Structure 1
Amino acid sequence: MKFNGTGEMIEALEYPTTTDEIIDNHGEHELELQRGTEQVGEILERLGTEEFETPEDVRLSVRSAVGHKAIGRRFYSDRDPTALGESGPTPLSL
């Protein structure tokens, strides 16, 4: 995920601040994700109304609320065993 200047915007906010204040003033900032982009406003709307005391609080909230465009292949894991009743790749021991 690339913050594309959003990190500097987060640092420059006056704290404490709320999700609503950030959305109203900076919601159009876009983050570059692995499979597209998403605006800060879209991301923070998922959290409801919160108050942030520090820039780190905002960064953590944004990182935790990004959508599925931030991950690679959805529902893929090379670490989990194949579920019962499903066929999967033959295990390979290295």
Structure 2
Amino acid sequence: MQFMADVGEKLDAHSYPATTTELIEAYGEMEFDTDDTESLGEVLGRLGEETYQDSEGARLAALSAVGEGAIGRKGYSDRDAPTVGENSEADLLSF
């Protein structure tokens, strides 16, 4: 996701510790390129007021709070066990 590379550069250059409010004021207008366009300010705003000690913490917080438009196929996992009644042998696909 190019957005996270761009935001990562900005967050790396920011001075820490930094609060959610400070990061939103500095970079809140940056938008995620997802099905549902949302800004970094909206994403961080979901988490409430926090103090981040470094850019890694801020980046992980942003990634953890993105909306459904950023996750691809909702509920998809190629690691889930088959549910009751499914033929597990026929549905297996190996790469």
Range into which the TM-score falls when normalised by the shorter chain: 0.7 to 0.9
Which residue in 2 is equivalent to 1:75?
Answer: 75
* Structure holding more helix per residue: 2
1:47-66, aligned counterparts within 5 Å?
47-66=47-66
| Aligned residues: CA RMSD | 2.4
Alignment partner of 1:42 is 2:42: yes
Other structure's SS at 1:5 match:
helix
5+ long unaligned stretches in structure 1: none
Overall identity of the aligned pairs, in %: 43
Name the SS of the counterpart of 2:33 in structure 1. strand
**TM-score, length basis structure 2:** 0.75
Unaligned regions of 5+ residues in structure 2, if any? none
TM-score of the two chains, using structure 1 as the length reference: 0.76
Residues 27-38 of structure 1 mapped to structure 2, 5 A cutoff: 27-33=28-34, 35-38=35-38
